[in-house]
Structure 1
Amino acid sequence: MTITTALAGPLGLAALALPPVAHAGSIQTVASFNYSNGVYPEASVTDVGGTLYGTTVTGGTTGYGYGTLFSYDPSSGGLTTLVSFNYYANGSAPLAGLTDVGGTLYGTTANGGAVGLGTLFSYDPSSGSLTTLASFNFANGSDPLAGLTDVGGTLYGTTYSGGTAGSGTVFAYQLPTSSTSVPEPGSLALLGTGLAGLGLVLRRSRRRRAHA
């Protein structure tokens, strides 16, 4: 929702679009969902660089309305549908909020995926791409309803059902490391020793040539 105000000036009227402003002590509606951009947002939004990201459980533009991932820009008041979930390919019904890890957002869907029991996904705001990282299959859990917690590059979460007793699970998902990884201290030390040895060989070679 955007408020447009007409301003009078020497050149006539000009339209200035202003984002909604929240006033102290009051609740201000800044955007409304309308099915095509989502229905029933149940989780909180996540701030990434001043832009808010969130999910809706249903609605969207695919199938019977399997939910959306959206962004809201407080500076412009713009609500943008970034992803409409489509059940089997990328899940359905994202009930939980999104977890920001280094600028990439991670979340779950309670249904859909390869066997219809939910997914774990990532969303990259810079490229706009959503990737299904894993599908739940009852053995590893089913129906993830709560959010994810990042602990040193590993995501932890729970599922409402599934597992060995069918009563839910605690799961972990190890995030991939950067392709440009820093060598381990042991590797650096070994590399340093190798260079020192090479220097010693070169010095001995010079001495032999000098005495020849």
Structure 2
Amino acid sequence: MLKHRVLLFGIAFMTTVASTQAASTIYTTSSSFTAAAPGTTLQNFDSSPNDFSPPISVTGFTVSQYGSNQGLYLGNTSYGTNQALEITTNTGGGITFTFASAITAFAFNVYDLGTLTGTTSLTYSLSNGSSFDSGSFITGYHSNSHGVEQFFGLTSTIGFTSISIANSQDGDVVDFDNVRYGFATTAVPEPSSIALLGAGLGFVGVRLVRGRRTRS
């Protein structure tokens, strides 16, 4: 009887612990990201009205800013990408994309990184507990030409409802456009869902053990 209880408790505990360990994959090209997460939704902001009062809500998600002296707005850009999100960042500040329900794939195009203040880096953290330094994202980037475009995408094995992106430089004006979000083909449920399943299995197992003891 005791063996069965310990085994059942161990299964439930291991399921809960495993649920907190997310693995992310980084993509630097649109083609590789699309292969891993086909069918994601595109938000290019072109049908969205100008908005100078964050948080900014568009179809699919909300964008907010954190840190002091941030400048975030949705509007026309100066280099032909039509509507885009533009933020002027300070060290320790950035923007957060928040989704109504969990996703496992996220991507965007970033423009004008490092054109005003020199070498700059971006970092990100997910609501599922994953966070990555600039070496996993865009690091040490500097461009003397405005409007330079870079692609960034990620997939996670565990769902997340928000992603925060920070810039390492004060006063760097950065634009985000062509945001893609949805599901990767290798995704698993959110941590809370798996933990609940583990707890449920453990409860059922304990009930079975008690039933056997009663009958004996």
**TM bucket, shorter chain:** under 0.3
More strand as a share of residues: 2
Q: TM-score, normalised by structure 2?
A: 0.26
Question: RCO greater where, 1 or 2, for CA within 8 Å and sep 6 or more?
Answer: 2
Larger Rg: 1
